[in-house]
């Protein structure tokens, strides 16, 4: 039986179709989840996709955090379910306090869309196990508020505990502290990532197919568990 | 507040009305009185004034635009032609594609961010109102000189507005143009193109069919935005002195538009809609009169039911409001509950404001009093039509006689190298990534090609790889030198760009940006350009599916360069066969297809190096273009080409630089013996493309070109070295080229 990966659609989600496509290409079953419905439809893992949930009103991710579906997701994530937040999804994870820190306006003050080189630094999470440690990949990055910030103690702890999942190489596109592109929670099952692996799963449409490993990783981790 | 009713109008014929302030001429006002056989009520006057404005009625351009229909090439591809919200083209396998480009020039000058943002919003709703899912957007833009202070105000705002709105809708921005010229200062051009796709059976039209069906207004609430914006803002120039007419432009909410897209696609797919119309310029006036006019001919509207953002709005203002993110649907009464349910799912407000009837009249009530009672066709389709006088400008001969022959040319290797480095940094030729990196080109995961490629390409059917490519082009300098040829050159370039990507050109849209139609010299430019475009489309077999006219692009007596932006749509059976501009393996052979002549009139070299505009534009040969396109498509589809790139602004030198920088590897360049190096590098002769093939494929390429009668010459070999080596003349590193090519826009706009 194939692994069921839920993809949530909030009002204003944009990359939900892309995330579902990536799950399918990786060999999983993509299950559409609706923001207003607490039912997680027996999924094994969940992706919060990119976009502008609730128009980014108030603060990016601040309103989505209170959507009914998030009650169930937070509960399951705290019990160990793999959960990946991409871009706006990362912002929602921070607003939900599943991950520490916050995403702030890019230091350039411009929205930035580019093919971004990253180094994968943590391969113990269910979303990155298919990478080799230190592997360099290129996937799209596109955000207006992607600067990762946290207090120094938190940043030190993230580094010390190996919870920096991916780091920007060559160019820091948004002023993120310590070039951080993605982090994991203490348990490792919840990962937030600013760049977009779901846009790098086909050579036809992406700058590479490096992104697919995030999705194959979680499928294997579920089969293995 | 007293309400002006039909009853009141009938008994007060002498009541004086501000028709001139609303942009109506005395004879137009009299025409309205003749139609109604009484004076119009203030609400009727509001409706006629916006619907009879230049922007809505095309009253000055209509007589010329007719050619697009009269000269249309015979084709089975056109499913819906000119006159609807957007034309619809058959691309096979049951799929249909709709695309259109529109201008939002004047609002974008007044308020760059919101003007550009709402331009995107409007064109996206046009595409949706055909029943299609919007797939991608593009933006042809024109600005004043890159270093002018006002460009520093306008450009960043417009770019941020396009990004801020488009990125939030989840539509990839796949191309467009950015051109600088002093004539656009005070009159930037912000054109927005959207393409969408649907299955044939999902095509919808803007018509109110079925007596008893309900008129539902849904989306954002109606507020005081852009009241009179259409007639007043778009139809008067920003001249000094005289009364100023600059009402507020509209403010966009892309989040609402995104919800509106999803809700609209749901109600369309569920079969809940009989007819549909977007609300853009002229708001409810336009939507109700056009729906009624295209349908049973009668409609009654209860205007007080419209959901308002501002309760103090008068009925006249509600009729004219251009509040964004609204749509109007015709729904059968038995399907209304489900329609309302689907809207509620997406948090979109909806309300029934009217009913279709067979009265032949559009009637509007305000709290029980009749304030409008008109034949809808007279509002929507039977407005005034003008045969504006036009004549060839007396200065045209002198302009064409002032050729580029006397301009000093670089000759030696070092001179040519210096000129190349100056040219690649020219604002019109420099890298536009400072702009395009602010747009999301990846969302939806179907973008196969995006800027800086020749054309944007989108996959439509994931199972078969069926897709479309689109390019927009126009060189306004060419159009100024010869508007007839200029329009054909714009068509030829967009057509060639689409073919270079590997797609077969199929159909055309346009956005005709000109000065005042009341100036006979501008009107001549418009008449020549439309005639040239219509003749060109007939020759190339690509019908015009729709478009837009923007007049009054001038400051005082100075009009912009005539700018007939042409968009060409092509179809590709499998997007996997597309061809990019990036060459790859060392040793691959570089060929130039087409003839190179000593043609510099209107060229970027004459413009940037000498500030000169004069002479004649490059000679256009559409039969040759057609043959070239056949070679480009065949070479791409068969996998013969490693890379292909059309030759236009900046000539072959610019093409080689772009191909090398895109690939990250250089080439050894051979200047053909028959050509002066300067002419080879910078001439802008049309009907040319550069293609790259593996050494083993050269024979096949020669055969193919021989069969089609397309001349070709080998001009180089791809190398592993990071430099362009112009044999005996000079050598320049890719690092130097990249630095010069990429620094211009960031240095100007930060």
Contacts of B155 (CB under 8 A, 6+ apart): B112, B143, B188, B749
Q: How far from B507 is each of B132, B133, B459, B469, B547, CA to CA, in Å?
A: 17, 19, 18, 11, 12
Q: Nearest CA to B3 among B48, B42, B40?
A: B42
- Per-residue pLDDT tens over the stretch B124-135: 999 999 999 999
Nearest CA in chain B to A53: B255
**CA distance linking residue B224 with residue B151, whole number of Å:** 29
Min CA distance, A107 vs chain B (Å)?
Answer: 12
- Per-residue pLDDT tens over the stretch B552-604: 999 888 999 999 999 999 999 999 999 999 999 999 999 999 999 999 999 99
pLDDT (0 to 100) of residue B52: 93
- Of these ranges, B13-22, B402-411, B550-559, the one predicted with the greatest mean pLDDT is B402-411
Q: Is the ipTM of this complex over 0.90?
A: yes
Catalytic residues of A: 87, 196, 198
pLDDT (0 to 100) of residue B243: 37
Please give the structure tokens belonging to residue B219.
């989306």
What is the arithmetic mean of pLDDT over B82-101?
A: 89
What is the arithmetic mean of pLDDT over B676-696?
A: 98
The values of phi and psi at residue B139, to 5°, are: -135, 105
- A210 inside 8 A of chain B by CB: no
pLDDT (0 to 100) of residue B27: 95
- Which is catalytic among the residues B104, B204, B645, B741? B104
Residue B577: helix, strand or coil by DSSP?
Answer: helix
pLDDT (0 to 100) of residue B23: 86
pLDDT (0 to 100) of residue B498: 98
Residue A158: pLDDT over 70: yes
CATH number at residue A89: 3.40.50.880
Give the pLDDT band of residue A224 (cuts 50, 70, 90).
Answer: low
Residue B445: pLDDT over 90: yes
Q: Nearest CA to B298 among B219, B238, B354, B233?
A: B354
pLDDT (0 to 100) of residue A202: 97
Residue B104: pLDDT over 90: yes
Give the pLDDT band of residue B228 (cuts 50, 70, 90).
Answer: low
Give the pLDDT band of residue A225 (cuts 50, 70, 90).
Answer: low
* Dihedral sign, Cα of residue B39, residue B41, residue B44, residue B48: positive
Is the Cβ pair A18, B168 closer than 8 Å? no
What is the arithmetic mean of pLDDT over B362-375?
A: 96
Residue B583's CB: how many other CB atoms inside 10 A?
28
DSSP state of B495: H
Q: How far from A15 is each of A198, B170, B445, B661, CA to CA, in Å?
A: 8, 8, 8, 30
- Which DSSP string corresponds to B212-273? T-EEEEEESPB-STTTTIIIIITTS---SSS----PPPP---HHHHHHHHHHHHHHHHTT--
Is the Cβ pair B167, A142 closer than 8 Å? yes
A:33-52 residues touching chain B, CB 8 A cutoff: 50-52
What is the arithmetic mean of pLDDT over A39-46?
A: 97
Residue A211: helix, strand or coil by DSSP?
Answer: coil
Beta bridge mates, A192: A85, A183
Could you tell me the residue range of the domain that residue A80 belongs to?
Answer: 4-224
Q: Which chain B residues are within 8 Å of A51, Cβ to Cβ?
A: 170
Nearest CA in chain A to B746: A108
**CA distance linking residue B188 with residue B166, whole number of Å:** 19
Sheet holding B447-449, edge to edge: B447-449, B456-459, B467-473, B563-572, B504-513, B544-550
Nearest CA in chain A to B347: A11
What is the arithmetic mean of pLDDT over B114-129?
A: 93
Higher pLDDT, B81 or B602: B602
- Per-residue pLDDT tens over the stretch B315-353: 988 998 889 999 999 999 999 999 999 999 999 999 999
Give the pLDDT band of residue B236 (cuts 50, 70, 90).
Answer: very low
Return the minimum-mean-pLDDT range out of A166-170, B15-19, B327-331.
B15-19
Beta bridge mates, B571: B468, B504
> Residues in chain A, how many?
225
What is the arithmetic mean of pLDDT over B101-125?
A: 93
A:179-208 residues touching chain B, CB 8 A cutoff: 196, 198-199, 201-202, 204-206
Question: What percent of chain B stands above pLDDT 70?
Answer: 97
DSSP alpha helix (H) spans, A137-203: 152-160
**CA distance linking residue A176 with residue A105, whole number of Å:** 10
Residue B486: pLDDT over 50: yes
For residue B369, with 0-12 CB atoms within 10 Å meaning exposed, 13-18 middle and 19 or more buried, which class applies? Answer: middle
- Per-residue pLDDT tens over the stretch B5-16: 999 999 999 999
Give the pLDDT band of residue B295 (cuts 50, 70, 90).
Answer: confident
What is the arithmetic mean of pLDDT over A194-199?
A: 98
Higher pLDDT, B296 or B402: B402
Is the Cβ pair A205, B163 closer than 8 Å? no
What is the arithmetic mean of pLDDT over B142-155?
A: 96
What is the arithmetic mean of pLDDT over A200-207?
A: 97
Residue B664: pLDDT over 70: yes
Nearest to A55 among B255, B440, B445 (CB): B255
pLDDT (0 to 100) of residue B55: 85
Beta bridge mates, B328: B217, B277
What is the arithmetic mean of pLDDT over B279-301?
A: 90
Give the pLDDT band of residue B231 (cuts 50, 70, 90).
Answer: very low
Give the pLDDT band of residue A1 (cuts 50, 70, 90).
Answer: low
Contacts of B192 (CB under 8 A, 6+ apart): B101, B102, B103, B104, B116, B119, B120, B122, B123, B137, B138, B139, B162
pLDDT (0 to 100) of residue B158: 97
CA A139 to chain centre: 13
- Residues B196/A144, Cβ–Cβ less than 8 Å: no
Nearest CA in chain A to B255: A55
Q: What is the dihedral of CA B51, B52, B58, B61, to 10 degrees?
A: 180
Min CA distance, A55 vs chain B (Å)?
Answer: 5
- A114 inside 8 A of chain B by CB: yes
Number of domains in chain A: 1
Q: What is the pTM of this model?
A: 0.95
């Amino acid at each position: 039986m194939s692994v069921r990966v839920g993809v949530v659609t909030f009002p204003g989600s944009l990359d939900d179709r892309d995330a579902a496509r990536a799950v399918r290409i990786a060999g999983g079953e993509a299950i559409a989840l609706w923001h207003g419905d607490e039912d997680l439809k027996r999924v094994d893992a969940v992706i919060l996709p990119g976009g502008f949930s609730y128009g980014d009103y108030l603060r990016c991710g601040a309103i989505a955090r209170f959507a009914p579906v998030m009650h169930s997701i937070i509960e399951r994530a705290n019990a160990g379910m793999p959960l990946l937040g991409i871009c706006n999804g990362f912002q929602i994870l921070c607003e939900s306090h599943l991950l520490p820190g916050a995403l702030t306006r890019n230091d350039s003050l411009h929205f930035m869309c580019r093919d971004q080189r990253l180094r994968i630094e943590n391969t113990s999470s269910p979303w990155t196990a298919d990478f080799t440690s230190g592997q360099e990949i290129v996937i799209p990055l596109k955000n207006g508020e992607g600067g990762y910030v946290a207090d120094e103690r938190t940043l030190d702890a993230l580094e010390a505990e190996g919870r920096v999942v991916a780091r920007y190489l060559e160019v820091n596109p948004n002023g993120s502290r310590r070039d951080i592109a993605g982090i994991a929670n203490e348990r490792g099952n919840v990962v937030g990532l600013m760049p977009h692996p779901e846009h790098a799963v086909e050579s036809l449409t992406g700058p590479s197919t490096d992104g697919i490993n995030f999705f194959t990783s979680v499928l294997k981790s579920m089969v293995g568990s | 507040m007293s309400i002006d009713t039909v009853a009141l109008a009938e008994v007060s014929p002498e009541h004086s009305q501000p028709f001139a302030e609303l942009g109506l001429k005395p004879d137009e006002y009299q025409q309205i009185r003749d139609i109604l056989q009484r004076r119009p009520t203030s609400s009727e006057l509001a409706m006629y004034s916006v619907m009879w404005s230049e922007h809505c009625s095309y009253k000055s351009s209509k007589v010329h635009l007719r050619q697009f229909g009269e000269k249309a090439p015979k084709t089975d591809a056109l499913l819906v032609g000119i006159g609807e919200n957007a034309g619809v083209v058959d691309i096979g396998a049951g799929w249909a594609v709709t695309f259109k480009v529109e201008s939002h020039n004047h609002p974008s000058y007044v308020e760059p961010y919101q003007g550009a943002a709402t331009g995107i919003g409007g064109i996206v709703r046009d595409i949706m109102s055909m029943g299609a899912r919007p797939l991608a957007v593009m933006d042809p833009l024109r600005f004043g000189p890159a270093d002018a202070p006002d460009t520093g105000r306008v450009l960043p705002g417009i770019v941020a507005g396009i990004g801020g709105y488009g990125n939030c809708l989840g539509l990839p921005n796949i191309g467009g143009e950015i051109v600088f010229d002093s004539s656009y200062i005070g009159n930037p051009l912000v054109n927005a193109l959207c393409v969408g796709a649907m299955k044939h059976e999902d095509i919808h039209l803007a018509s109110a069919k079925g007596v008893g069906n309900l008129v539902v207004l849904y989306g954002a609430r109606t507020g005081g935005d852009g009241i009179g914006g259409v007639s007043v803002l778009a139809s008067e120039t920003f001249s000094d002195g005289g009364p100023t007419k600059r009402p507020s432009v509209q403010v966009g909410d892309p989040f609402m538009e995104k919800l509106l897209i999803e809700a609209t696609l749901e109600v369309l797919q569920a079969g809940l809609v009989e007819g549909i119309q977007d609300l853009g310029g002229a708001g409810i006036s336009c939507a109700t009169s056009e729906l009624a006019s295209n349908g049973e001919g009668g409609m009654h509207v209860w205007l007080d039911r419209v959901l308002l953002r501002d309760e103090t709005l008068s009925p006249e203002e509600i009729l004219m409001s251009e509040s964004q993110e609204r749509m109007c649907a015709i729904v059968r009464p038995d399907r209304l509950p489900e329609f309302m349910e689907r809207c509620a799912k997406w948090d979109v407000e909806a309300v029934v404001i009217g009913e279709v009837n067979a009265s032949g009249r559009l009637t509007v009530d305000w709290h029980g009093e009749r304030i409008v009672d008109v034949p809808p066709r007279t509002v929507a389709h039977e407005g005034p039509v003008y045969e504006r006088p036009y004549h060839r400008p007396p200065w045209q001969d002198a302009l064409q006689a002032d050729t580029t022959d006397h301009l000093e040319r670089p000759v030696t290797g070092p001179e040519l190298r210096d000129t190349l480095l100056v040219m690649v940094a020219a604002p019109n030729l420099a890298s536009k990534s400072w702009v395009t990196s602010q747009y999301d080109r990846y969302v939806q995961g179907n973008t196969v090609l995006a800027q800086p490629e020749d054309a944007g390409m989108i996959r439509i059917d994931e199972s078969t790889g069926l897709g479309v490519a689109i390019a927009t082009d126009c060189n306004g300098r060419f159009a100024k030198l010869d508007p007839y040829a200029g329009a054909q050159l714009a068509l030829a370039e967009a057509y060639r760009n689409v073919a270079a990507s590997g797609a077969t050109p199929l159909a055309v849209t346009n956005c005709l940006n000109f000065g005042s139609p009341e100036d006979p010299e501008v009107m001549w430019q418009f008449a020549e350009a439309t005639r040239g475009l219509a003749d060109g489309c007939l020759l190339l077999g690509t019908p015009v599916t729709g478009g837009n006219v923007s007049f009054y692009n001038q400051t005082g007596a100075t009009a912009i360069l005539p700018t007939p932006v042409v968009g060409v749509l092509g179809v590709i059976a499998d997007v996997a066969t597309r061809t990019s501009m990036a060459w790859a393996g060392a040793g691959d052979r570089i060929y130039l297809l087409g003839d190179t002549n000593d043609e510099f009139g209107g060229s970027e070299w004459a413009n940037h190096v000498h500030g000169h505009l004069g002479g004649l534009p490059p000679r256009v040969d559409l039969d040759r273009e057609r043959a070239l396109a056949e070679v480009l498509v065949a070479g791409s589809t068969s996998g013969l080409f490693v890379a292909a790139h059309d030759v236009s602004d900046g000539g072959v030198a610019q093409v080689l630089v772009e191909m090398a920088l895109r690939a990250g590897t250089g080439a050894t360049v051979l200047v053909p013996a028959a050509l002066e190096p300067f002419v080879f590098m910078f001439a802008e002769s049309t009907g040319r493309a550069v293609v790259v093939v593996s050494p083993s494929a050269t024979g096949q390429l020669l055969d193919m070109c021989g069969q089609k009668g397309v001349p070709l010459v080998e001009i180089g070999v791809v190398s592993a070295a990071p430099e362009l080596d112009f044999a005996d003349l000079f050598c320049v590193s890719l690092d130097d080229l990249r630095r010069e090519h990429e620094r211009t826009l960031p240095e100007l706009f930060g």
